A and B are shown apart, each in its own frame.
Chain A
Amino acid sequence: MIPELGHLALILALGLALIQATLPLLGTFNHSATWMALARPLAYGQFTLLTIAFACLTYAFLISDFSVAYVATNSNSLLPTLYKVSAVWGAHEGSLLLWVLMMAAWGAAVALFSRHLPQITLARVIAVQGMVAVGFLLFILFTSNPFERLFPIPPEGRDLNPLLQDFGLAIHPPMLYMGYVGFSIAFAFAIAALIGGQLDAAWARWSRPWTLIAWVFLTLGIALGSWWAYYELGWGGWWFWDPVENASLMPWLIGTALIHSFAVTEKRAAFKNWTVLLAISAFSLSLLGTFLVRSGVLTSIHAFATDPTRGAFILVFLAIVIGGSLTLYAWRAPSISSGGYFALLSRETSLLINNLMFAALTIIVLFGTLAPLIYDAFGWGKISVGFPWFNKMFTVLAPGLVIVMGISPFLRWKRDRFMRLIRHLWWLVAIVLAIKLLLISQVPIGVMIGMSLAVWLLITHGASVYERLQQRDRSQFTLKAAFIQDLRGSGRSFYGMIIAHVGMALFIIGVTIVSHFAIETDVRLSPGDSHVVAGYRFEFKGAVSSTGPNYHAERGHFIVTDDNGDHVADLFPEKRAYFGGGMPMTEAAIDPGLMRDVYVALGEPLGEGDWAVRLYYKPAVRFIWLGAIFMALGGLLAMADRRYRSTSPLAQITPTIAASGSIKP
């Protein structure tokens, strides 16, 4: 009964979505306040129905109702409860349900928190969201119904893919989806603005906090995925340029360009066309990512379920949503004023460079991901673009981006003077050059470049904070008081930017050090043997069989000691065979540290108690994820800026703007 209830809730949600996509939007054209007023309750209703559907599916997992096909293929009565819950989104059908649920949650959040938004804008935003929801709900109901029954009822489920039975991966998809789907808000605002023909500072100010929070989720989601791949795949790598990883990186890159572009649109009313195109692109790339993952067009380590009819459906959906919005853009955008004038040397220019660089990086990733398909289509043979190509392209472009990042906070809006800039920057440049000279004979050139870029970011941002506070200091504050006052006032987005950029510096440090100084050794060890890697002695005490709730494992025991013979850690890597079958899983054992990770993974048993063992020393690898956490914190702080709250005096201009809109008296 419960699964049917869930199915019914989904059907009703589709009905509501159809109304949501049409009536409020029509209301904005025929000036019916009643129709427009429907937007809010419809958004809440949509969210409620999808919550019910999701709860029904979760319940089916919790009671192991194997009469539901989706439960039978993705769960097992032995599965620990946590993974029974995460199994809900462990495969195609459920992850789509999570996707629409989250989109409805974002819609409801907009309806709830945007009380100051003019009714006409809200109606359009909610309607655009409704249109996207219609597509996804049709897709779920017609090709991927998670509530489909199975007969005869199997006595036991097939079990969740063992790769996914892990805490990191249990929370990775929801985070990632929050980001993907969160961009639907920026998209909906952009489309609403295009429909109304109004792209102004107010539009940017409304969209910006929503885009920031989506970007924060996406940042954390990608970082979690990278962390998961690091410890769960047992290869010690943190990024594989896998099509599915790329699918999440592309919206992130464009999203990053978008949050910067919004700054210009909000403060200087410039870059409107750019901003709206980026907002459309960010969500389009999220949809494209879904297509790539779900259609099986590209093979990948992540390809769980692939089905060409589903692919065809998503492609049609993609063509309608993205094609439609780009057509709207091509039609409306040329008539939008290009906004304020700015000189060649200005903060606008530096942000334009940022936009172009991020767009270029996105195109590189898109090309690299689709290259096998492009080559195939033109009959150039089968190729796959690997690691080296992506790494090369990024290391060529990224330094330029980072140099501009350091200069940008010092630049003035609209017009700046070169000599003024030199006066502010010469000593910072001197410091970095000095570091370069100092390092050049000591370390590989890659390390020299990476570290000096990181230092450049850190000192320029430190100096720009100091400068900002000093300007206030003149009045009456001490530096500390000025800082606190600034944080209370409108300085949060500034400090958010600083923190996120410091995160970038940490990320660069991590990537530079781990890619040059990591040591990876594969050795054969007998019980009692030991092996030294980077000053750490790994003593293998042997492996014993053990049994988990739903797997057998060979559990190795390693004692790690350092140079002085002091005990560092006892590590217990495992090789697991899940009862449900499939490839044996490697559970790496890691002794984490800020400055280094010590990493052991069991390879293959070689007989007589011997094992092939992977021993890794990974210096500064944590900086990579720490950097991502800083970026996310920066995003959160920027979002908390006072001017995004309805109580802010700036919000008072909204009624005037709304009045000048398309509602005629």
Chain B
Amino acid sequence: MTIQSKRLSLFVLPLAIFIALVGLLLFGLTQDPREVPSPLIGKSIPTFNTPDLIDPSRQVTDAELRGHITLFNVWASWCPACKAEHPMLMQLAQQAGIQLIGLNWKDERSAALQVINSTGNPYLFIGYDRDNRVGLDWGVYGAPETFIIDRAGIIRHKHIGPIDQTVWDDTLAPLIKTLQAEPHSP
């Protein structure tokens, strides 16, 4: 083999591999790793049946989520970001035309109740999902996460991370406006 072809074949190869790698990493940088698309979007909500956080004798089921435009919010007392979004949820609870259902996830009842008692309850109902049984079906991988569900019980959007004013104004409020404009399903 001549020096020239040897150079091309063997020695430039590591460089070429590296350039491909840089291209790949550059692509990776433009992606938001938090943006894990939920396979559930556009699908009907998974069924569930879990005890109510406040009144354990009653059950919270997927039926509560149907027929209304619902924000299904996954939270826990151990999650600081949930504390941060709590005032925003309190504010949203006043909003007409949407209902807020909570899922208390991988948490302890006493700790969760303490949060609700001391900072207020923005939710219509709170399902208690200590063992991640509901969370697993819904593909929850962290808290807080919020699912936007239309009147027909279809998941239309999933927001990962806390809801703040910007998220609300830019993403969620316009979406809810469209959902409200959609005709009531039979």
Residues of A within 8 A of B (CB): 273, 277, 280-281, 284, 288, 291, 295-299, 306, 308, 311-312, 315, 318-319, 322-323, 326-327, 329-330, 333-335, 370, 373-374, 376-377, 382, 577, 581-584, 604-605
Contacts and interface: CB of A to CB of B under 8 A. Distances in A.
Contacts of A370: 21, 24
B15 A330 contact: yes
B36 interface: yes
B33 A299 contact: yes
A323 B19 contact: yes
Given A315-B22, A330-B14, A333-B11, A297 B78 contact: no
B173 interface: no
Interface string B9-34: 01110110011011011111101011
14 contacts: A280-B14, A291-B25, A295-B28, A297-B25, A315-B26, A326-B14, A329-B15, A330-B15, A334-B3, A370-B21, A374-B24, A377-B27, A577-B78, A584-B78
A155 B107 CA distance: 29
Contacts of A374: 24
A582 B80 contact: yes
Chain B contact-residue range equals 20 to 34
A334 B108 CA distance: 65
B7 A327 contact: no
B36 A382 contact: yes
B29 A334 contact: no
B37 interface: yes
A382 B37 contact: yes
Contact of A376 (B29, B31, B131): B31
Given A296-B33, A297-B31, A604-B130, 17 more contacts: A273-B10, A273-B11, A284-B18, A295-B25, A297-B25, A297-B28, A299-B33, A306-B33, A315-B29, A318-B22, A329-B14, A334-B7, A370-B21, A370-B24, A373-B25, A377-B28, A581-B80
B177 interface: no
Contacts of B3: 334-335
A312 B29 contact: yes
A584 B31 CA distance: 30
Contact of B27 (A318, A373, A604): A373
B120 to A, nearest CB: 19
Given A330-B7, A370-B24, A581-B80, A308 B29 contact: yes
Given A299-B33, A584-B78, A323 B15 contact: yes
A327 B15 contact: yes
Contacts of A311: 29
Contacts of B108: 604-605
Nearest to B83: A581
Nearest to A335: B3
Contacts of A377: 24, 27-28
A311 B15 CA distance: 21
B78 A582 contact: yes
Contact of B22 (A298, A323, A334, A604): A323
Nearest to A328: B15
B176 to A, nearest CB: 27
Nearest to A318: B22
B33 A277 contact: no
A334 B33 contact: no
Contacts of A329: 11, 14-15
A370 B27 CA distance: 12
Given A297-B33, A299-B33, A581-B78, A315 B25 contact: yes
A312 B37 CA distance: 24
B80 A334 contact: no
Nearest to A309: B29
Given A298-B33, A299-B33, A581-B80, A277 B14 contact: yes
A56 B6 CA distance: 52
Interface string B60-83: 000000000000000000111000
A376 B21 CA distance: 14
Contacts of A584: 78
Nearest to B5: A334
Contacts of A308: 29
A351 to B, nearest CB: 19
A296 B34 CA distance: 9
A374 B26 CA distance: 12
